[in-house]
Amino acid sequence: MAQRLVNPLDYFAIQNVISRYCVALDSKEFERLAEVFTTDVDATYPFPGGDLKGIEALESKIRARLGKVVTQHALTTQIITFNDDGKSASAETYFTGSHFGHGAFEGQVITAYGKYMDQLVCCEGAAPGMPGASGLWLIKKREVRFMKRIGDEGIMQK
């Protein structure tokens, strides 16, 4: 069976949507998560209450967890694999997330090392900033796995 050719711009569109997630968190523009995930996203995060269904639940939980914490998320190693249908893909993306302390924790940092395991779908519409991509790529399912966290968890308290 011959493999289907993939639009190379779809790789960049997927990289951009995963990067957009980090920018939304770090800028505290949590409403921008609607530009990253499908409305019916199924997400699993490794913290209490981390099994989330739907964009509203996801946005609310992330806003509550990170809203008052200064963060900086960086993406590193990544593998993107397209499914035969050309309208879905998976991405495994390593990340480093730094969370900076405030108040009693001023000057301290907790750093999370992990990976995003994403299932993406290509939807109708144009990918922002990516003319020529097959459509609007969004994350339909996400699992976040921590490999290691270094620092005082108290930083995450408000």
Residue 12: per-residue pLDDT: 95
Domain membership of residue 70 as a residue range: 8-156
The pLDDT of residue 158 is 61
Instruction: Print the SS3 string covering 49-110.
Output: CCEEECHHHHHHHHHHHHCCCEEEEEEEEEEEEECCCCCEEEEEEEEEEEEECCHHHCCCEE
What CATH number does residue 119 fall under? 3.10.450.50
* Per-residue pLDDT, 17: 97
At residue 2, the pLDDT reads 53
| Structural domain total, the chain | 1
User: Is the overall model pTM greater than 0.75, yes or no?
Assistant: yes
pLDDT of 49 reads 87
Task: Tell me the mean pLDDT per 10 residues along the chain, length 158.
Answer: 78 97 98 97 92 97 93 98 93 98 92 98 87 94 97 84
Does 1 reside within a domain? Answer: no
